[in-house]
Every structure is written in C-alpha cells, then in structure tokens.
C-alpha cells in the first residue's frame, strides 16, 4: 500500500507530456525529453528531478513481454481475506514467485493480484498450494489473462 505522503504539486501539461514520453521510453535522454516537450534541457532536467523528488516517478523499469520471457500464463487473482489481516497477507504474497502487482481493493473481494507463471501447471500450483495455504485467505478466484495491452498515461 502506498505511503500516506502528502500530495505533490499539481502537474501541468508539460509534466504530463514528460511522464507520457518516459513511459514510452524510460531510457530517453534529457535532451530528447526536452526536444519532445519543447522545453530547455535545464527545464526538462529540473522537472524530471522534481517529479522524482515528489514521488510521482517512483523509478524506471523495463516493460517485459512476459510470454517471451518464459511466463506464458498470466492471471488476475481475487482474494477474500480475514478482516484486518491485510499487512500480514501482503507480506506473504510478496514472497510468492511470479507476483507482479498486489492491491487492497473495495468491493466483492479484498485483494487483487496480478501473477505471471511459466505455464498453467505452475499457475495451478501457485493458487491451490501456495496462496490457498495462507491461513488468512478465505477464498480465491482466478481470472486467466488471454491478452494484455499497456496503456500510456493520458494527459
């Protein structure tokens, strides 16, 4: 769960353009960012540093094609958990292989996981043996992912 840090400064259209471009190419140089959003290199550098310092940019990472990386099965898994056990469950889920995203949510279930595994057999093992063995997990539901598309931040 995200820290309860104060909200950062409001983002303007240039900040949002910088974020969109960096989502497309996290390895972009300051010069190319500046050219793309029509500001000076110094301005682009200062804005990117501010976005990092304010926690808007949490890091830079590679976008992975999970199937090509040997993880041919992906699924969203919903969990119902024992009330007030979120922190304990989160720590146990973080230790599992293939867990890409964990969210505490509202609605008909409590936790939403995104997992990537080599194949359906591994996915079954993860769900039936590892996740359902967590004492605080009351029930689970698995939704297979047939196709994924990453979305770049809109302005």
Span 86-95, mean pLDDT? 96
pLDDT tens, residue by residue, 48-76:
999 999 999 998 887 777 787 788 899 99
For the full predicted model, state whether its pTM sits above 0.75.
no
Q: Which of 25-29, 105-109, 139-143 has the lowest mean pLDDT?
A: 25-29
Sheet strand arrangement including 73-81: 99-104, 111-117, 73-81, 137-144
pLDDT tens, residue by residue, 35-52:
999 999 999 999 999 999
Retrieve residue 11's tokens: 């983002």
pLDDT tens, residue by residue, 112-123:
999 999 999 999
Q: Which of 84, 89, 88 is nearest to 112 (CA)?
A: 89
Distance CA 86, CA 68 (A): 33
Beta strands 111-117; 99-104: pairing state:
antiparallel
How far are the Cα atoms of 8, 29, 54, 93, 107 from residue 138, in angstroms, in the given order?
37, 48, 38, 14, 15
């Amino acid at each position: 769960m995200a820290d309860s840090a104060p909200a950062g400064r409001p983002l303007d259209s240039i900040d949002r353009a910088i974020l969109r471009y960096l989502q497309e190419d996290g390895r972009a140089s300051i010069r190319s960012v500046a050219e793309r959003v029509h500001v000076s290199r110094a301005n682009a550098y200062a804005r990117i540093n501010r976005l990092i310092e304010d926690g808007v940019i949490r890091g830079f990472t590679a976008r992975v094609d999970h199937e090509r990386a040997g993880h041919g099965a992906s699924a969203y898994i919903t969990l119902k958990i024992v009330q007030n056990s979120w922190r304990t469950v989160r720590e146990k889920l973080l230790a599992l292989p293939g867990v890409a995203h964990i969210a505490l949510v509202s609605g008909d279930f409590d936790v939403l996981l995104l997992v990537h595994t080599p194949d359906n057999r591994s996915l079954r093992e993860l769900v039936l043996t590892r996740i359902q063995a967590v004492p605080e997990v009351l029930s689970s539901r698995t939704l297979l992912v047939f196709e994924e598309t990453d979305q770049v931040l809109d302005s």
